[in-house]
């Protein structure tokens, strides 16, 4: 398997994940992923400033809620998010590369 360099700024997606806020866990829908953040939607969104942990499969993203608009919210992470690991199964590598090409055009 060869290493293919992929540079992603933001990928629009839609898949289920779990969000932990303190002792509470909530089902969420991730709607976009970037290198240091993601947007999501939840029936009960967190509050700005909340520290949260997002889990999807083996990938965990920790961060802080930056803003909330209705049921939508933005999480900023201090660590680099493994975008391909997080969304690879949902889109497949080919779809990710095509989206990157479309963004560059």
Condensed to tens digits (0 to 9), the pLDDT of residues 24-73 reads 999 999 999 999 999 999 999 999 999 999 999 888 999 999 999 999 99
Is pLDDT above 70 for 97?
no
Query: Phi, psi at residue 82, to the nearest 5°?
Result: -80, 85
Whole-number Cα distances in Å, 19 to 2, 7, 27, 90: 34, 26, 6, 18
97 phi-psi bin (left φ>0, alpha ψ -120 to 50, beta other):
alpha
Q: Which domains does the chain have, with CATH numbers?
A: 10-98 (2.40.10.220)
**Vertex 85, ends 82 and 88: CA angle to 5°?**
130
Condensed to tens digits (0 to 9), the pLDDT of residues 77-90 reads 999 998 888 877 66
Is pLDDT above 80 for 7?
no
Q: What is the pTM of this model?
A: 0.77
């Amino acid at each position: 398997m060869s290493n293919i360099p992929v540079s992603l700024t933001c990928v629009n997606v839609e898949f289920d994940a779990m969000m932990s806020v303190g002792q509470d866990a909530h089902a969420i829908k991730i709607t976009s992923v970037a290198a240091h953040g993601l947007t999501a939607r939840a029936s009960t969104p967190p509050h700005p400033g909340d520290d949260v942990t997002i889990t999807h499969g083996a990938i965990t993203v920790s961060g802080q809620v930056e803003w909330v608009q209705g049921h939508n919210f933005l999480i900023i992470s201090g660590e680099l998010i493994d975008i391909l690991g997080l969304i690879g199964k949902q889109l497949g590598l080919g779809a990710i590369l095509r989206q990157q090409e479309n963004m560059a055009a």
